[in-house]
Structure 1
Amino acid sequence: MVKRNRYSKEFKTEVLREVREVGNAVPVAKKHGISVGLIYRWGKQSEHKAWEQASDEAKKIAEYLPSPKEFRELEEENGRLKSILGEKDLEIAIYQDLLKNRQPGFPKK
């Protein structure tokens, strides 16, 4: 039977901090002699605990779903903003084209 190691909360926190700093769990796992899967499991458990400890207000914000009326309004606003963005892109393209094709008599800045 394989001996199971118990790791302290401080050790787990330190390992997860190192993974965030390095950006890769593999070298941290090798450094500490533990499996990468174990580190990922600790990370998921820590995220789950953070979610459980979050306030009800924070959970409401994270789980916000607009009503059908709000959703339609958001879609309409999104359409208007996309239209404005398209117009601005067209203006920029026109100005860039004018700059490329300007008369030789006008000095460049």
Structure 2
Amino acid sequence: MKGQRYTKEFKEMVIQEVNEANDVAQVARRHDLSPKTIYRWKADMKHKAWEVTEPSAKKTAAYTPTSQEFKQLENENGQLKKLLGEKDLEIAILRDLLKKSQPGYRIK
């Protein structure tokens, strides 16, 4: 048995009611529908809006930093790498010290 078919206008009216009332269950009961059906209609309507959007509006430009910004990013990256190296060295020294002070202590 196939489900009942509803017109586009009816679906839009129900979705508009849901948006105004902010209560899917109440609107579903009023129209004798399943809340899942209304959620599916809402998702479909969002998808339909994407289809009618102009292609130029859908394009996203890739960010390309200027030469000054690029140099700044390179400097920051270098500082972070140096800091990470120092922290790794510090951890290795502390682990070594822990092994020497407590020979039975195991470190993963």
Task: State the TM-score, normalizing by the size of structure 2.
Answer: 0.56
Report how far residue 11 of structure 1 moved. Answer: 0.6
1:7-50 Cα offsets, whole Å, 9 max, x none, are 11111010000000001211000110101110010011111011
* Aligned counterpart, 2:38: 39
Secondary structure class of the residue paired with 2:5: coil
Amino acid at match of 2:31: H
Larger gyration radius, structure 1 or structure 2:
2
Which letter does structure 1 place at the counterpart of 2:57?
A
Note if 1:66 corresponds to 2:45.
Answer: no
Aligned length: 69
Change in 2 beyond 3 A, CA 1:66/1:10: same
Q: Once superposed, what is the RMSD of the aligned Cα atoms? A: 2.2
Residue 65 of structure 1: CA displacement? Answer: 4.6
Q: Percent identity?
A: 41
Given the two structures, how large is their TM-score scaled by the length of structure 1?
0.55
After superposition, the Cα gap between the structure-2 partners of 1:45 and 1:64, relative to the gap in structure 1 and judged at 3 Å, is farther
Give the aligned partner of residue 16 of structure 1: 15
- Post-superposition shift, 1:56? 1.1
